[in-house]
Structure 1
Amino acid sequence: MNLKSILLALIVVFIWGVNFSVIKFGLEELPPILFSSLRFFIVAIPAIFFVPFPKTSVWNVLGVGLFLGVLKFSFLFIAMKADASAGISSLLLQAQVIFTIILSMIIFKEKVTIAQSIGMLIALIGFGFFFFTVDTNITLLGIVLILCASIFWSVSNIIMKQIKDVNLLHFMVWVSLIPPLPLFILSYFYESHEPLTLLLNSSVKTWASVAYTGYISTLVAFAIWGWLLKNYNSAVVTPFALAIPVVGIIGSNILLNEQLNHIETLGAILILSGLFISVLGNRIYKFVLRVEKRRV
């Protein structure tokens, strides 16, 4: 990757990492399901009138819209409303890496490398640490909700993995058309019968939060990410995502004054180490072998 592409990848990492703290700002005034529906609504409308339907099956759009838009973000936003801090949410959500590997084994019969097995084991031990720190920065319900969100995200990853040569920006615009209506209905019955009143009384900070998560985190970041994946091998691009929870934790500390206790810090280090080994371990091992052969 050239310097421009590296900088673009780091911009996406920054956008997605800070996004968790920005979500917290919006959830101060808006209920989580309404916030999530609004986030996708402003992405889809009016963009769908100018963006062509992606060259893929409508079922792929519906599937990702359901699992990513309706389920993943609803569970995540509900957890972040009162049961999980922004930093820990950004970290635990990365369990999607492990779930995606497991689903790929089951569905695509992919083989798991030794590095992936070791990495997943280390990460799972790290996740276990958070069960001993409930009611500090996260509750037991928050852990369950975020792990469910990561499972739904991994299902959408599997759907997107089967899609070939599709404009990711166009795809995300049309995916964003799926969640608003069911989420608005759920919000009306379970959160508030006066959603318009809530929206009209929302502050500039809340609307800025919605705009950031909709336009910046979804459209801009996914457009850049899609361009990177189109121009570079995914093995080069995807490791940058490992830095997202790091930015998320640092961002929540600066913007929200959130602090990890010692057990949570140890768990975070184990999770990040496990993810690093799962994603990069096999490549590092092969690189070391090549270096050793050259020396011989």
Structure 2
Amino acid sequence: MRPAHLLLAVLIAAVWGVNFVVIEVGLDHFPPLFFCALRFLAAALPAVFFVGRPQVPWRWIIGVGLALGVAKFGLLFIAMNQGLHAGLSSLVLQIQAVFTAVFAAVVLGERPGPVRLLGMAVALTGIAVAAVDEGTSGPVVGFVLAIAAAAGWGVSNILMRRAAPPDAPRFMVWVSVVPVLPLLGLSLVFEGPAADRAALASLDWGGVGTILYVAWGATVLGFGAWSFLLRTYDASAVAPFSLLVPVFGMSSAALLLGEEVSPLRWVAAALLVGGVALTSLPGISLPGLRPAADRPSGVRRRPRAAASDAAAPVPTALAAAPPADTSASRTPSTATPPTRTG
């Protein structure tokens, strides 16, 4: 990989890692579902009028939009609003690689080999260690919702595999159109129109900045650059850089939000990132075991999942630490679970 492209890959991982910090800041300005809706509205407009018609069937755009925009990001924003800190969120969300492998086995018939099964076990161990480190005093509901968000990400990865869009940035712009109305509807029902109006009435440059960052920085520009790298190099050369997302997420949360990262949290991060590497990256084999690439030529193989796994927003698709400063109150809502206050 050329040095400039190497730096670009690291920059994308950094943008996606810092994105979790920006989301946490944005939740001080907006109710979570309303914030998520504004994020995709800003990503879709005005770009949707200039990118041309989608190049894949509508069912894939709608499916990915619901799985990625409503399920993954909607649940993630609620989880963080419940008190799950930015760094820990960036770490837990990486369990999506395990969900993707499981869904690929069920839906696409891709049998995970010994190395991938080992990676799944290691990643799940990392999640267990993170749960122990979070303890009973942590936001249990938020932790569970983040895992559910990772499952939604896994579903979107499979749908994107089936869609195989030839132009990823155009595809992502049209996908961003889909979640806007469902998220606005859910916000009106569960957060209430009064909370949404109050957020807009008190809108300042800080709130606008968070929307623009998560919409254009993390979504449109981030995925556009990532898709360029995937078109230029093999997925096996690009995918490992997505493993830097929780590293940047945890580090930026510690630096910008004052979140402490315990030694046990770093152990959880090492286990999860290592497990995701084994689960996602092609060409890895264990001693004494024949790698997938060495199968007999008569055995039909399906495409690997690494390219789409890495291309999903880490945002999107893509840990934080013990209690950070929780003095900031969240925007009031009427029917969502209680917002984080302390």
TM-score if structure 1 supplies the norm length? 0.92
Verify: 1:253 aligned to 2:260, yes or no. Answer: no
Aligned residue identity for 1:230: R
The aligned residue for residue 143 of structure 1 is 143
Note the 1:1-296 alignment, pairs <5 A: 1-134=1-134, 138-194=138-194, 195-280=196-281, 282-283=283-284
Q: Matched residues in 1 for 2:79 and 2:186: separation?
A: 16
Given that 1:105 and 1:112 are in contact with CA atoms closer than 8 Å, whether structure 2 keeps it comes out as yes
Q: For 1:137-174, what per-residue CA distance to the aligned partner results, in whole angstroms no more than 9, with x for missing partners? A: 94211111001000000000001012235201100111
The Cα of 1:281 is off from its aligned counterpart by: 7.6
Q: Distance in 1 between matches of 2:84 and 2:90?
A: 10
8 Å Cα contact 2:101-2:279 kept in structure 1 = no
What is the alpha-carbon distance in structure 1 between the residues aligned to residue 51 and residue 281 of structure 2? 36
Contact 1:122 1:271 (C-alpha < 8 Å) held by counterparts: yes
Q: CA deviation at 1:208?
A: 0.5
User: Alpha-carbon deviation of 1:133?
Assistant: 3.2
SS in 1 for 2:170: helix
Does the aligned pair in 1 maintain the 2:115–2:285 contact within 8 Å? no
Higher relative contact order (CA 8 A, sep 6+): 1
- Distance in 1 between residues matched to 2:61 and 2:232, nearest whole Å: 23
Task: Report the Cα distance in structure 1 between the residues aligned to 2:82 and 2:176, rounded to whole angstroms.
Answer: 25
Give how far 1:186 is off.
1.2
Q: Quick one: distance in 1 between partners of 2:53 and 2:201?
A: 32
Q: Is the 8 A contact 2:13 2:245 kept in 1?
A: yes
Preserved contact between residue 41 and residue 176 of structure 1 (Cα < 8 Å):
yes
* Separation of aligned partners in 1, 2:17 and 2:231: 22
Distance 1:108 1:204, change over 3 A: same
Counterpart AA for 2:66: L
Contact 1:83–1:141 (Cα < 8 Å) also in 2: no
Superposition deviation, residue 74 in structure 1: 0.7
Q: Percent identity?
A: 36
For 1:294, the equivalent position in structure 2 comes to: none
Paired residues of 2:236 and 2:282 also in contact (CA < 8 A): no
Instruction: Tell me which amino acid in the other structure corresponds to 1:111.
Output: R
What residue number does 1:293 align with?
none
Whichever residue aligns with residue 52 of structure 2, its letter is: P
Kept in 1: contact 2:126–2:269 (CA 8 A): yes
CA distance in structure 2 between the aligned counterparts of 1:136 and 1:16, rounded to whole angstroms: 29
Name the structure 2 match of 1:292.
none
User: Do the aligned partners of 1:71 and 1:152 also contact (CA within 8 Å) in 2?
Assistant: yes
Question: Which structure has more helix as a fraction of its residues?
Answer: 1
Q: What are the ranges of 5 or more consecutive residues in structure 1 without an aligned counterpart?
A: 290-296
Q: Residue 136 and residue 252 in structure 1: after superposition, are their counterparts in 2 closer, same or farther (change >3 A)?
A: farther
Q: Distance in 2 between matches of 1:102 and 1:199?
A: 41
Partner letter of residue 242 of structure 1? L
Cα distance in structure 2, aligned partners of 1:281 and 1:55: 28
User: When the two structures are aligned, how many residues end up with a matched partner?
Assistant: 287
Distance (Å, rounded) in 2 between the aligned partners of 1:212 and 1:251:
15
Paired residue secondary structure (2:35): helix
1:258 Cα deviation from its structure 2 partner: 0.6
The amino acid across from 2:40 in the alignment is: F
RMSD: 1.8
State how far apart, in whole Å, the 2-side matches of 1:10 and 1:285 are.
28
Distance 1:50 1:276 in 2: 37
Task: Return the offset for 1:210.
Answer: 0.7
For the 8 Å contact 2:239–2:281, the answer to whether it is kept is no
- Check whether the contact 2:278–2:284 (CA below 8 A) recurs between aligned residues: no
Q: Which SS does the other structure have where 2:177 is aligned?
A: coil
Q: Distance in 1 between matches of 2:280 and 2:20?
A: 23
Cα distance, 1:284 vs. partner? 6.6
User: How far did 1:200 drift?
Assistant: 2.6
Structure-2-length-normalised TM-score = 0.80
Contact 1:18 1:251 in 2 (8 A): yes
Which sections of structure 2, spanning at least 5 residues, go unmatched?
A: 291-342
| 1:38-96 Cα distance to aligned partner (Å, 9 max, x none) | 00001112211111122101000000000001111010000111320100000000010
